[in-house]
Amino acid sequence: MAEKLAPTRTVDGVHYHQHEIVIVGAGGAGMRAAIEAAQGADTAVVTKLYPTRSHTGAAQGGMAAALANVEDDNWEWHTYDTVKGGDYIVDQDSAEILAKEAIEAVIDLENMGLPFNRTPEGKIDQRRFGGHTRDHGKAPVRRACYAADRTGHMILQTLYQNCVKHNVKFFNEFYALDIVMTEVDGQEVPAAIVALELKTGELHVFQGKAFIFATGGFGKVFKTTSNAHTLTGDGMGIVWRRGLPLEDMEFYQFHPTGLAGLGILLTEGARGEGAILRNASGERFMERYAPTIKDLAPRDIVARSMVQEVLDGRGAGPHKDYVYLDCTHLGAEVLETKLPDITEFARTYLGVDPVTEPVPVYPTAHYAMGGIPTNNAGEVLSDNETVIPGLYAAGECACVSVHGSNRLGTNSLLDINVFGKRSGRNAVEYVKTAEFAPLPDDAAAFVKGMVDDLQASTGTESVAGLRRELQETMDKNAQVFRTADTLTEATKVIHSLRERYTQIAVFDKGKRYNTELLEGIELGFLLDLAEVLVYCALNRQESRGGHMRDDFPKRDDVNWMHHTMAYLTGDRKSPDPADHIRLDKKPVRVTRYEPTERKY
């Protein structure tokens, strides 16, 4: 018989709720976890956005699985590609789980009603994607299952419909700002989430037995990004402030084909269908950088190659600051049926018609490989091995690590489904025997103080101005190419911005939908995460995957074949991050594939 839960109550204006499993975030990972959790426990989802507005809906190209519907394929080749694509800093047992369970994950979505593109025989169609090969790297393979170039949108809608079917309780437009930890039997465990209801400005405490973070990435630390305005790293920032570690934060992926100057994404599926990258002279330059699979090399290699073309003076346009994505040879039928969204994006935002002319593109900040460290069960770790009972994470905010230093395209939609499902399933097993951890007398005190201080602020600094300066320095100093000098400059700027952040002004003193207050809180998380990204990048003296150091251009397996674990340890007033961030190492789990030179 299900346990009777305490009714909602209000104390001193703070609303208290009780649910067995509380999920923070309603993107793909959060809703896939919710579907699994709601079938075995009372489940609530606390989400900053209405679920179908989550950023999973922006994912275009596909979801990898070795179905072998179109040509020969198997999960072992997928595992190898994932490990090699991540430049061998992938935990290989995790990559094997990802590749093995991919097939079931796609079938799950099909059974839920997702309308995949079909072959003439009625099977799920598949197309090529960067870094995915047959027979351990010999040739590209058709592995990406897709729904035109709206795959993420279709996944999001399908998952939401199935959450409704399973009676998941949604708290929409509730902004989670803190996790309350309490000591039970000598160990810190999560007791509650504290959230701000945007509609009323009131605080809510969600007590639970288990909590799953699925809050997405933090791309808004950069100016040129494919990420939505809401991707400010809230979940990572919450656990960071509570002294829990973040893993591999130096590894950030820059997607090769963002619309030049805008960052709006053109899916890698375009190159999967045969689109070609060209420089100003029309040369197919990827033949020089990756002679075997050319334009379908992993994203880190393609992004660096594009930037190198521009740096070497072969860029296109009035300022020679971008290259071209040439889709003209694909024909109108392919573009309008298989790639309709990107065709419309190019026409709308650049006034360029991909059917008849090449599209200006340049790398854009896209995906965080690092995040909250978890094991293969989705359980959050407080160090290299110790599990925090009842705390889980999945999706981009988590680091399991299946992506290493460079995620392969289509493995993100796969990750959210495989590890979202795992975290939800394991949370159900945990709450069967767990008790509610006791709440402190005023569980919302920290958040109340933070919100009150911001609303009472009378400083002279603009939130938008500080955010713009942060994004500009990150674009300039910590993007595709980095050096000690650029990262040191970014560190100085971030410290200055942190000091100025204490003097920000929030002019809107209202409670209802106070977006100015919301952006002020988000900026605090962005400053935290930018600092740890830059400090970890400065520490790693090698180039690997998405982390390219011009002053250390080679991969160094002798000294750097390990994950980076970062811990917040002290007062952040010091200009030197070493005074308040401690870095540690975590071994990479190698099972079958010893590190070798990456050749494509």
Q: Tell me: pLDDT of 187 over 80.
A: yes
pLDDT tens-place string over residues 421-436: 999 999 999 999 999 9
CA dist., res. 537 & res. 303, Å (int): 18
Contacts of 398 (CB under 8 A, 6+ apart): 29, 213, 214, 371, 372, 373, 374, 378, 419
Does a structural domain hold residue 209? no
pLDDT at 3: 66
CA dist., res. 229 & res. 225, Å (int): 10
Q: Tell me: pLDDT of 496 over 60.
A: yes
pLDDT at 559: 97
- Give the pLDDT band (50/70/90) at residue 555: very high
Q: Which residues are catalytic?
A: 299
Contacts of 236 (CB under 8 A, 6+ apart): 215, 218, 246, 371, 372, 397, 525, 529
CA dist., res. 300 & res. 408, Å (int): 9
Domain with 280 in it: 261-363
Identify the domain boundary among 328, 347, 363: 363
CB 409 within 8 A of CB 152: no
Identify the domain boundary among 363, 398, 421: 363
Q: Tell me: pLDDT of 457 over 90.
A: no
State whether 576 and 477 are in the same domain. yes
Q: For the chain, how many structural domains are there in total? A: 2
Q: What average pLDDT does the structure give for the chain? A: 95
State whether 356 and 474 are in the same domain. no
pLDDT at 185: 87
Interior/surface letters 1-25, b for 16+ CB within 10 angstroms, e for the rest: eeeeeeeeeeeeebbbbbbbbbbbb
CB 585 within 8 A of CB 559: no
Q: Tell me: pLDDT of 88 over 60.
A: yes
State whether 448 and 582 are in the same domain. yes
State whether 469 and 572 are in the same domain. yes
Statement: the pTM of the whole predicted model exceeds 0.85: yes
**Residue 78 in tokens:** 């997928």
Q: Is 370 annotated as a binding residue?
A: no
Q: Is 26 annotated as a binding residue?
A: yes
CA dist., res. 193 & res. 331, Å (int): 51
Does a structural domain hold residue 349? yes
Identify the domain boundary among 313, 331, 363: 363
Q: Tell me: pLDDT of 117 over 50.
A: yes
Mean pLDDT over 547-554 rounds to 96
Residues in the chain, overall count: 600
Does a structural domain hold residue 26? no
Does a structural domain hold residue 575? yes
CA dist., res. 290 & res. 302, Å (int): 9
Q: Tell me: pLDDT of 9 over 50.
A: yes
SS3 category, 477:
helix
State whether 468 and 582 are in the same domain. yes
CA 367 to chain centre: 5
Q: Is 255 annotated as a binding residue?
A: yes
Cis peptide before 281 (omega within 30 of 0): no
Q: Tell me: pLDDT of 280 over 50.
A: yes
Does a structural domain hold residue 330? yes
Q: What percent of the chain has pLDDT over 90?
A: 90
| CATH code for the domain in which residue 559 is found | 1.20.58.100
**Residue 451 in tokens:** 């919100």
Contacts of 397 (CB under 8 A, 6+ apart): 25, 29, 213, 214, 215, 216, 217, 233, 235, 236, 368, 371, 372
Contacts of 347 (CB under 8 A, 6+ apart): 353, 354
247 vs 369, 374, 398, 571, CA distance in Å? 9, 9, 9, 21
Q: Is 485 annotated as a binding residue?
A: no
Mean pLDDT over 590-597 rounds to 95
Q: Which amino acid is at 413?
A: L
Does a structural domain hold residue 42? no
Residue 135: how many other CB atoms lie within 10 Å: 12
Mean pLDDT over 359-378 rounds to 97
Q: Which residues is 169 bridged to in the sheet?
A: 44
Poorest-confidence range of 145-149, 396-400, 574-578? 574-578
Mean pLDDT over 2-14 rounds to 82
**Residue 474 in tokens:** 């990150």
Does a structural domain hold residue 297? yes
Which residue, 528, 570, 587, is CA-closest to 246? 528
| CATH code for the domain in which residue 342 is found | 3.90.700.10
Does a structural domain hold residue 185? no
- Give the pLDDT band (50/70/90) at residue 8: confident
Q: Which range has highest mean pLDDT (14-18, 56-60, 182-186)?
A: 14-18
Q: Which residues is 361 bridged to in the sheet?
A: 259, 323
Mean pLDDT over 553-564 rounds to 97
Interior/surface letters 59-88, b for 16+ CB within 10 angstroms, e for the rest: bbbbbbbbbbbbeebebebbbbbbbbbbbb
pLDDT tens-place string over residues 224-240: 999 999 999 999 999 99
Q: Is 317 annotated as a binding residue?
A: no
Q: Is 562 annotated as a binding residue?
A: no
Q: Tell me: pLDDT of 274 over 70.
A: yes
pLDDT at 1: 37
Q: Name the one residue in this structure whose structure tokens are 């799920």.
A: 124
Q: Is 61 annotated as a binding residue?
A: yes
State whether 354 and 456 are in the same domain. no
